[in-house]
């Protein structure tokens, strides 16, 4: 597990270098460690290095990890596809959900959020690349969905999330991230108070930070390739 410590160190350095290069304030781009498919000991190794925010995609696997670690200092982010019959489990176990793209799901998360917990932080997922296969709403749908979601008492609308199509060129990587930032700025001009841009993964985190990412979601660069 030494490699996890080393790779985490390297990613943190990459993030702080990018913050400096793109005139972001130190710590403004937070690291979400994506631990999906990885064993619980890999998460423990990251915790030992001071990592507290983890992203998971598969609900049953995630809940097992959350219950086993049973550590209130951790925050858990659901970043996978959401089936509507699983919303109660998500609402009860997570601090954040990044992948909301339907009002029905937002309503269920709000209704099912236990009253003993603060409102569930959520991001709306936007399909910035227009690929049919990708989940997420279009930019055109954003304003109406945000208006409905912000009125729900059990969730707190924090911002926007995207997973763009893979792209090697740095300037081209920036484009969908810039569009997402501009969409967030437009919503805030309309009266929303959104503070979160969840964007950037192992291969495009610098471009995301250049465009204002507040969470980069990093899996393989910390924990190694997935099968």
Ligand X SMILES: *Cc1c(COP(=O)(O)O)cnc(C)c1O
Q: 111: which DSSP letter?
A: H
Q: Which is nearer to ligand X, 25 or 37 (CB)?
A: 37
12 binds ligand X, rule: CB under 6 A: no
Structure tokens at 103: 């009002």
Q: How far is the CB of 71 from ligand X (least distance, A)?
A: 22
Q: How far is the CB of 202 from ligand X (least distance, A)?
A: 3
Instruction: Please report, as residue ranges, which positions from 66 to 85 form the binding site for ligand X (by CB under 6 A).
Output: 79
Q: Which long-range contacts (CB under 8 A, 24 or more apart) does 202-206 make?
A: 203/166, 204/164, 204/167, 204/173, 204/177, 205/11, 205/14, 205/15, 205/18, 206/14, 206/18, 206/21, 206/170
134 binds ligand X, rule: CB under 6 A: no
Q: How far is the CB of 185 from ligand X (least distance, A)?
A: 23
Show Cβ contacts of residue 13 under 8 Å, excluding neighbours closer than 6 positions: none
Write down the H helix ranges in the chain. Answer: 2-21, 40-48, 59-69, 87-93, 103-112, 139-149, 170-189, 205-210, 220-223
163 binds ligand X, rule: CB under 6 A: yes
Q: How far is the CB of 34 from ligand X (least distance, A)?
A: 4
Instruction: Please report, as residue ranges, which positions from 191 to 220 form the binding site for ligand X (by CB under 6 A).
Output: 201-202, 217-220
Q: Which is nearer to ligand X, 112 or 135 (CB)?
A: 135
Q: Which of 12, 36, 107, 178 binds ligand X (CB under 6 A)?
A: 36
Contacts with ligand X by CB under 6 A lie at 34, 36, 57, 79, 163, 201-202, 217-221
């Amino acid at each position: 597990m030494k490699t996890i410590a080393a790779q985490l160190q390297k990613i943190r350095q990459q993030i702080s270098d990018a913050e400096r290069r793109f005139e972001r304030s130190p710590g403004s781009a937070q690291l979400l460690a994506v631990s999906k498919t990885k064993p619980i000991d890999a998460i423990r190794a990251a915790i030992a290095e001071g990592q507290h925010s983890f992203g998971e995609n598969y609900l049953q696997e995630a809940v097992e990890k959350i219950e086993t670690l049973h550590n209130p200092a951790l925050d858990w982010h659901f970043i996978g596809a959401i089936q509507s019959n699983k919303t109660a489990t998500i609402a009860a176990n997570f601090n954040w959900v990044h992948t909301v793209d339907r009002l029905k799901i937002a309503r269920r998360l709000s209704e099912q959020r236990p009253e003993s917990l603060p409102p569930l932080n959520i991001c709306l997922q936007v399909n910035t690349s227009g690929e049919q296969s990708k989940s997420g709403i279009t930019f055109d749908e954003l304003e109406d969905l945000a208006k409905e979601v912000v009125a729900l008492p059990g969730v707190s609308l924090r911002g926007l999330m995207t997973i763009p199509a893979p792209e090697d060129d740095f300037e081209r990587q920036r484009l969908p991230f810039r569009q997402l930032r501009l969409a967030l700025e437009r919503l805030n001009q309309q009266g929303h108070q959104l503070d979160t841009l969840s964007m950037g993964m192992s291969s495009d985190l610098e471009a995301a930070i250049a465009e204002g990412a507040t969470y980069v979601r990093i899996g393989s660069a910390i924990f190694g390739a997935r099968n």
